[in-house]
């Protein structure tokens, strides 16, 4: 008869497996952490475009920290800093910013396989739908009404000072926690999942591969 594996052994196995899976991810994550770098080169840029209330903002970003917050106008205003240890990486990094009717597209590009980081703050009209996909870093959304589809590979998602009423909330992590007591309790062990149905008008979908999701307010 094969030997039984105890619960403690199972947990140790899963923990070891998750650590092995996270090794290449942790290398990317260290690239996104400002505190571990004295950047040799940095450039800050600003841009602004007219936009419509109730439109959809699509953001694609490789590595860095992104804050999307409620502005006080019908414009998208963006400030971003490109940081790297090589001047050529900063010069070669660029951002595509385009508005087409009710949709705005912002895509950040860095030279491949380089240690290049973006630090970004975007102000949007009070009612703006968000479609944000980021690979590594932290994503914060502050007091923006509208539907949200947020996807992050490694890092933390936080919805701060959240006042929007939702009819649907789906938040999940591959490895990490979902902290959202006002929307109920999350379930799961290594990763967490939260499902909420309410009487509001918006939908929120948020997923992190490795990291935490925090929803402040309701």
Q: What are 125-180's pLDDT values in tens digits?
A: 999 999 999 999 999 999 999 999 999 999 999 998 776 689 999 999 999 999 98
**Low-confidence residues of the chain, pLDDT below 50?**
1-24, 26-36
C-beta neighbour count of 15 within 10 angstroms: 11
What values do phi and psi take at 17, rounded to 5? -65, -45
Q: Count up the domains in the chain and report the number.
A: 1
Domain-embedded: residue 65: yes
Domain-embedded: residue 12: no
Strand partners for 150: 132, 206
Cβ proximity of 127 and 146 under 8 Å: yes
pTM of the predicted structure, to 2 decimals: 0.83
Supply the range of the domain harboring residue 37: 32-217
Domain-embedded: residue 11: no
Give, for 25, the enclosing helix (H) or strand (E).
Answer: helix 7-32
Domain-embedded: residue 19: no
Domain-embedded: residue 43: yes
Domain-embedded: residue 27: no
Domain-embedded: residue 10: no
Tell me the pLDDT of the chain averaged across its residues. Answer: 84
Domain-embedded: residue 182: yes
């Amino acid at each position: 008869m094969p030997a039984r594996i105890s619960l403690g052994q199972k947990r140790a196995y899963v923990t070891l497996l998750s650590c092995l899976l996270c090794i290449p991810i942790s290398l990317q994550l260290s690239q996104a952490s400002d505190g571990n770098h004295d950047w040799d080169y940095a450039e800050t840029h600003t841009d602004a475009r007219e936009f419509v209330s109730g439109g959809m903002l699509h953001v694609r970003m490789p590595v860095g920290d992104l804050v999307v917050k409620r502005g006080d106008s019908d414009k998208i205003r963006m400030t971003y800093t490109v940081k790297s240890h090589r001047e050529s990486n900063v010069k070669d990094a660029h951002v595509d910013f385009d508005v087409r009717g009710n949709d705005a597209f912002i895509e950040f590009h860095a030279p491949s396989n380089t240690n290049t980081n973006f630090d970004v703050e975007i102000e949007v009209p009070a009612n703006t739908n968000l479609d944000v996909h980021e690979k590594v870093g932290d994503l914060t959304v502050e007091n923006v009404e509208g539907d949200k589809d947020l996807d992050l590979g490694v890092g933390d998602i936080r919805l701060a000072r959240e006042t929007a009423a939702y009819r649907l909330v789906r938040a999940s992590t591959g490895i990490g926690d979902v902290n959202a007591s006002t929307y109920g309790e999350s379930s799961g062990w290594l990763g967490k999942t939260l499902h909420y149905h309410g009487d509001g008008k918006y939908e929120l979908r948020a997923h992190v591969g490795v990291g935490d999701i925090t929803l402040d307010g309701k």
